[in-house]
Amino acid sequence: MGQLDGKVALVTGAAGRDNLGQKIAERLAEEGAKVVVAGRHEDELKRLADTIGGSYCLMDLTSKEEVEAAVDFAVETYGKLDIGVNAVGWGLMKPTTETTEADLDKILAIQFKGPFFFMQALLRVMGEGGSIIQISSATATIMLENHAAYMGTKAGIDHIVRTVANEYGARGIRANSISPGLTRTPMAGPTFEMKPVMDAFEKEYPLGRVGTREDIAEAVIWLAGDKCFMTGQNLQVNGGLTLRRNPILSELGAIMDEVTAHLQS
């Protein structure tokens, strides 16, 4: 018997092979939830939905209309919606002075407006026991250079999560966020193949390693379950990174140029 038997979940950002959203969807299904996965790439969504015995819908998080439609699809398919997880993000790395207006428009749409739309849509259909889960970042709390727009939008939506928790707790709806540090996902690109970079990061983690998709998915399972008596909180699921710091660019040297170039592409 799974921890989430009888629950229905919608996971956004699950259209990239082996990304964090996919692992979260897989774990939710393993614990008995019926899962709808949403994103922009139909072939991969269909593959995942077939694998986990769920459903899928195409959705661009930056479109309020498409977000509303995805939530309605989940309710129409399974009769209700108990869990909403947003795992969409864009790892923009640019110096503050080089961040363009187009960059800001894009990252605000992806990491602030889109999550706001998602929470609005979820609140429209959720009832007692509903759980809203936003994937945030340790960098919403601690520093990482050349990451201002990313960090600011993550911190901003964390505060919206707190306001939702405060306003909708009376309806029995919980809202929380999870902050990974550096995590082994495709989004991290070539970082994990660069030993000097990994050595510099790993020494800042009290638990001695960077995170995995599985670490974050397990936190989602707990937040999604009825035994979770928590709302309006940000879980730092990053091995203690926020007790220390991320390495600074001068410590990483020229090798970081390659990482930054990848993340900008």
Active site residues: 150
Query: Distances in Å between the alpha carbon of 185 and those of 141, 211, 215, 216?
Result: 21, 9, 12, 11
Q: Are 72 and 47 in contact (CB under 8 A)?
A: no
Q: How many CB atoms lie within 10 A of CB 167?
A: 13
Distance CA 106, CA 99 (A): 11
Q: Spell out a b/e string for 219-228, using b for 16 or more CB atoms within 10 Å of the CB, else e.
A: bbbbbbbeee
Q: Token pair 């509903």 is at which residue?
A: 130
